[in-house]
């Protein structure tokens, strides 16, 4: 295996210096933060223009009582720019919006004060005129809605206190509360299950499939392109006459492609991380709940090992497929058009696992899912915080290793020009026939 080092060096250097590869590696790191920054800036400016300096709100007060006036005063103190329209109907009031550069109309109905006083409850109507689509529009509406709800709470506090002085109004409003706990491995966590699922989903449900997807497609694409280029440049012909085994040539290609694909994945993940980092303050502005980072029970080392092992096997499996596609392609264009058709269908069962229950699938589909090595990282990721390796993975990892080894052996057997030339010619002829350009050969 002493020839493996120069062969791997050749693969890695040739790939990393290829502009098609290194530009592909750098692009996510540069583009994702730019997209994040642009989206963040655009959203901020949109919100700023909608709510900055106060949201302009028209009010049609059909009640004209002390309580309705008090509501208007309250709204003014919260930063809204409230102005009253002196008309009699909602239709006329909506027309007034246009002339006053406002989008929101609050209609206080007749009997507003009396219904509140008699504890019947009253309904304030909010009209929102859509003038464009964007974050800013919604933020303006939410700001007004919040003010109305806040005033409702203030009113309820006053009413409850007047009925029974000294009582806590909050207790009256919500007499029944819940505290949620999540139990994992007999360990009680003081956090609701949705928070746990949120963290797990982001961690293992999103990250593992995303990593697997990026690495698998990238590694297969790189291996296919590298091998097709060897065909195109006739370097494979030279390589196959050197005193090295076909297996060494294949392993070098698999290792080289994997190294570059892992680098590419790291760059992509860095790009995504920067993108989310830049967009993160936006979540706080829009008021979405930030899930705490309460520590979940850490997966066992065996689970990590199983996940890494299954990921590595899945990567080797897709790399071998890439080499096969590349070897069968007489040029890079053919390999690029074939690789997607091979890799994407293989990834579909893996996603079935992530978003559904494999055991509830029809038997044929279950067999397909369990037959592919790329399924096992998903199965393990889904069960990551459980103490024991799922039974499918216990048998699946050695099975995948066997399948991948077999595929590698078959691929190395394919690296014989006798077979390659024949298969390449068949593929080329079939493609030309499909395009209506029947080969003259």
Write the binding mask 402 to 421 for another protein: x where contact by CB under 8 A, - elsewhere: ---------------xx--x
Least separation in angstroms between residue 308's CB and another protein is 31
CB 329 within 8 A of CB 224: yes
Least separation in angstroms between residue 369's CB and another protein is 39
Q: Pick the binder of another protein from 114, 238, 286, 439 (CB under 8 A).
A: 238
Q: Pick the binder of another protein from 70, 156, 161, 245 (CB under 8 A).
A: 245
User: How far is it, in rounded angstroms, from Cα 177 to Cα 187?
Assistant: 23
| CB-neighbour burial class of residue 253 (10 A; exposed 0-12, middle 13-18, buried 19+) | buried
CB 225 within 8 A of CB 20: yes
Applying CB under 8 A, the span of 47-55, 169-177, 240-248, 390-398 interacting with another protein comes to 240-248
| CB-neighbour burial class of residue 245 (10 A; exposed 0-12, middle 13-18, buried 19+) | middle
Q: Write out the DSSP string of 305-353.
A: HHHHHHHHHHHHHHHHHHHHHHHH-SSHHHHHHHHHHHHHHHHHHHHHH
Applying CB under 8 A, the span of 6-14, 87-95, 158-166, 197-205 interacting with another protein comes to 6-14
User: What residues numbered 214-233 form the site for another protein, per CB under 8 A?
Assistant: 229, 233
Binding flag, residue 438, another protein (CB under 8 A):
no
Least separation in angstroms between residue 11's CB and another protein is 9
Q: Pick the binder of another protein from 190, 241, 293, 360 (CB under 8 A).
A: 241
Q: Which two tokens stand for residue 46?
A: 């949109």
Comparing CB distances to another protein, the nearer of 3 and 366 is: 3
Look up residue 202 and give its DSSP letter. I
User: How far is it, in rounded angstroms, from Cα 439 to Cα 441?
Assistant: 5
Applying CB under 8 A, the span of 3-11, 196-204, 305-313, 398-406 interacting with another protein comes to 3-11
- Strand locations in 156-254 (E): 182-184, 187-189
Comparing CB distances to another protein, the nearer of 3 and 154 is: 3
- Cβ partners under 8 Å of residue 390, min gap 6: 379, 380, 383
Residues interacting with another protein, by CB under 8 A?
A: 2-3, 5-7, 9-10, 13-15, 17-18, 229, 233-235, 237-238, 240-245, 417-418, 421
């Amino acid at each position: 295996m002493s020839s493996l080092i120069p062969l791997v060096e050749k693969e890695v250097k040739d790939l990393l210096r290829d502009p098609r590869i290194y530009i592909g590696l750098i692009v996510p790191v540069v583009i994702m933060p730019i997209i994040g920054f642009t989206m963040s800036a655009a959203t901020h400016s949109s919100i700023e223009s909608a709510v900055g300096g106060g949201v302009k709100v028209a009010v049609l007060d059909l009640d004209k009582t002390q309580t309705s006036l008090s509501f208007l005063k309250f709204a003014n103190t919260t930063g809204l720019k409230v102005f009253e329209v002196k008309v009699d109907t909602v239709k006329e009031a909506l027309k007034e919006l246009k002339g006053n550069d406002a989008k929101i109309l609050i209609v206080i109905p007749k009997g507003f004060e009396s219904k509140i006083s008699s504890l019947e409850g009253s309904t304030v109507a909010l009209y929102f005129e859509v003038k464009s689509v964007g974050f800013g529009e919604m933020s303006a509406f939410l700001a007004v809605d919040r003010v109305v709800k806040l005033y409702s709470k203030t009113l309820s506090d006053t009413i409850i206190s007047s009925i029974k002085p000294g009582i806590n109004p909050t207790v009256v409003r919500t007499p029944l509360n819940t505290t949620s706990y999540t139990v994992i491995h007999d360990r009680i966590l003081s956090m609701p299950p949705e928070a746990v699922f949120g963290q797990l989903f982001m961690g293992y449900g999103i990250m593992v499939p995303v990593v697997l997807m990026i690495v698998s497609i990238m590694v297969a694409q790189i291996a296919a392109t590298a091998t097709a280029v060897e065909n195109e440049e006739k370097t494979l012909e030279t390589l196959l006459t050197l005193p090295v085994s076909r297996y060494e040539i294949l392993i070098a290609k698999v290792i080289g492609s994997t190294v570059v694909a892992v680098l590419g994945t790291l760059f992509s993940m860095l790009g995504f991380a920067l993108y989310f980092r830049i967009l993160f303050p936006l979540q706080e502005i829009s008021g979405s709940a930030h899930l705490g980072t309460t520590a979940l029970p850490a997966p066992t080392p065996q689970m990590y090992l199983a996940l890494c092992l299954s990921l590595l096997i899945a990567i080797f499996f897709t790399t071998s497929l890439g080499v096969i596609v590349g070897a069968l392609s007489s040029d890079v264009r053919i390999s690029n058009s074939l690789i997607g058709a091979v890799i994407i269908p293989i990834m579909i069962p893996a996603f079935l696992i992530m978003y559904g229950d494999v055991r509830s699938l029809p038997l044929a589909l279950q067999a397909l899912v369990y037959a592919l090595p790329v399924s096992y990282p998903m199965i393990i990721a889904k069960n990551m915080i459980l103490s024991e390796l799922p039974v499918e993975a216990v048998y699946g990892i050695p099975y995948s290793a066997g399948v991948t080894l077999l595929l590698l052996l078959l691929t190395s057997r394919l690296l014989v020009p006798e077979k390659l030339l024949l298969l390449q010619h068949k593929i080329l002829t079939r493609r030309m026939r499909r395009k209506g350009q029947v080969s003259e050969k």
